[in-house]
Amino acid sequence: MKNKSKLNTVYCSRCLFSNRIVLPSIITQDDKKQSNKERVTFENGVCQACLSVGKKFNKETDWGKKEKQLNKFLEKYRSKNGSYDCIVPGSGGKDSVFQAHILKTKYNMNPLTVTFSPHVYTDIGSKNFHKWPLNGDVHNFLYTPSGKLHSKLASLAFKNLLHPFQPFIFGQRNYVVQMAKLLNLKLIFTGESHNDYGADEIKEEEEKFLFPYKYWTLKDHKEPILISGLTLEELEKKHGIKSEELKFYLPITKKEAIKSDIKYIELGYFEKFGPQENYYLATKITDYQANDRRTEQTYSKYSSIDDKLDPFHYYTAYVKFGYGRATTEASNEIRHKYISREEGLALVKKYDDEFPKRYFEDFLSYLNISENEFYETLDKFRNPEIWKKVGTDVKYCKNWQLINPPE
């Protein structure tokens, strides 16, 4: 991946985010050159994610007032006959369990849950998903795309963008909107504010709790769409993938969303999301289980453990941008005051560079690529500003080292 201008790596003074952290993919902009990527902004040496989460611990934040605000907003939509009145997308993980539970018990809503299936379920991920409707008192629609289609899109996204998770992210984000439109449901609830991960969105007061339209709608049907780094026309002409097969990966237009009165709400604006608190609540509500071992490239056992491809979502980001899974999780825990920056730094130094071996063969098989092709593709996207070669042993990327790791 070639950069137009040199970027000196700078780290946040509070957490371990660097100025190379990128914001979520947008379906009209994710091109092969990655030229569209927006990065986390800094203010006086502090990243936007720390500034956003820090407001949750500000004594001036009136959570009781926020609860009343949401309750008043929900009056218009709350079901009076037991029918569904909102949708919560998720996999039965700690955060989606928390969202559905809090909406039912605290806000007297009746959420329908929907799931865009992972690429390849882990055993623990499958068990936790099925426990969600079984023990969590929710109804669920599970959509599982064709394995042939989904694996092809993931493979193309890996080769073109070094982002094998990109099509799944689009499916996860847009399937719920398609279901809301299909079932005439007006409210979709997602978790933390995207600002908590570094976005710097300036919104009008009444829109502060809404997920920005640019992430889940099109301006119009003429706007080009890019999946796996290819246009819809290229996907059909070169790979035989028709647009009709991609329905649940694709967004609706902003005009359609407004006409259907669909609102995508960030529940984290009204409720204080905490990764550990959500985990402990999920263990009580659904008997959610952590993994039987530490997740590779990090230190936790309970976060994003449902998909065998998930470790390579984090590892490919590490190759492209120089931050790994431990950086992401430790930074979040620093912001929530679970650990200090010094403790987080020690964890990052110990785990961020770890290669995810456990599901490596599953990953190669699913994408239908060889191990050599895997390493060659990674090296095409390595930025010489970030990486230096330290040997010739390509196995598990032992021949590369970060130039400027966090301190």
Domains of the chain: 63-269 (3.40.50)
Which tens digits make up the pLDDT trace of 309-321? 999 999 999 999 9
Nearest to 377 by CA among 153, 147, 232, 164: 164
Identify whether the C-beta of residue 12 lies closer than 8 Å to the C-beta of residue 47.
yes
Measured torsion, CA atoms of residues 275, 276, 278, 283, in degrees rounded to the nearest 10: 140
Count how many Cα atoms sit within 13 Å of the Cα of residue 155 in the half-sphere of its side chain.
17
Question: Whole-model pTM?
Answer: 0.93
Identify whether the C-beta of residue 99 lies closer than 8 Å to the C-beta of residue 269.
no
Q: At what angle do helices 310-321 and 371-381 cross, to 10 degrees?
A: 40
Count how many Cα atoms sit within 13 Å of the Cα of residue 240 in the half-sphere of its side chain.
3
Identify whether the C-beta of residue 171 lies closer than 8 Å to the C-beta of residue 249.
yes
Nearest to 104 by CA among 236, 281, 262, 256: 281
Burial of 46 (0-12, 13-18, 19+ CB in 10 A): middle
The per-residue pLDDT for 200 is 66
Amino acid (1-letter code) at residue 322: G
Segment (H or E) for 126: helix 123-136
Count how many Cα atoms sit within 13 Å of the Cα of residue 2 in the half-sphere of its side chain.
2
Instruction: Give the span between the Cα atoms of 356 and 317, in whole angstroms.
Output: 13
Instruction: Give the span between the Cα atoms of 244 and 108, in whole angstroms.
Output: 37
The per-residue pLDDT for 22 is 82
Angle value at C-alpha 65, between 214 and 86, nearest 5 degrees? 45
pLDDT over 90, % of the chain: 83
DSSP code at position 77? T
CA distances to 1, 56, 106, 266, 277 from 70, in Å:
44, 16, 11, 11, 21
Q: Which two tokens stand for residue 262?
A: 């669909």
Region 84-106 average pLDDT: 97
Region 157-173 average pLDDT: 96
Identify whether the C-beta of residue 5 lies closer than 8 Å to the C-beta of residue 331.
no
Instruction: Give the span between the Cα atoms of 278 and 60, in whole angstroms.
Output: 24
DSSP string, 169-186: HHHHHHHHHHHHHHHT--
Q: Is 298 left (phi over 0), alpha (psi -120 to 50) or beta?
A: beta
Q: How confident is the model at residue 35 (pLDDT cuts 50, 70, 90)?
A: very low
For residue 110, pLDDT over 90 is answered with: yes
DSSP code at position 301? S
Region 354-370 average pLDDT: 98
The per-residue pLDDT for 379 is 96
Maximal CA-CA distance, the chain: 67
Which tens digits make up the pLDDT trace of 321-339? 999 999 999 999 999 999 9
Tell me how far apart the terminal alpha carbons of the chain are, to the nearest angstrom.
26
Q: Which two tokens stand for residue 301?
A: 């056992």
Higher pLDDT, 39 or 37: 39
Which tens digits make up the pLDDT trace of 246-292? 999 999 999 999 999 999 999 999 998 888 999 999 999 999 999 99
Q: How confident is the model at residue 233 (pLDDT cuts 50, 70, 90)?
A: very high
Instruction: Give the span between the Cα atoms of 142 and 92, in whole angstroms.
Output: 11
Which tens digits make up the pLDDT trace of 176-208? 999 999 999 999 999 988 778 777 665 554 578
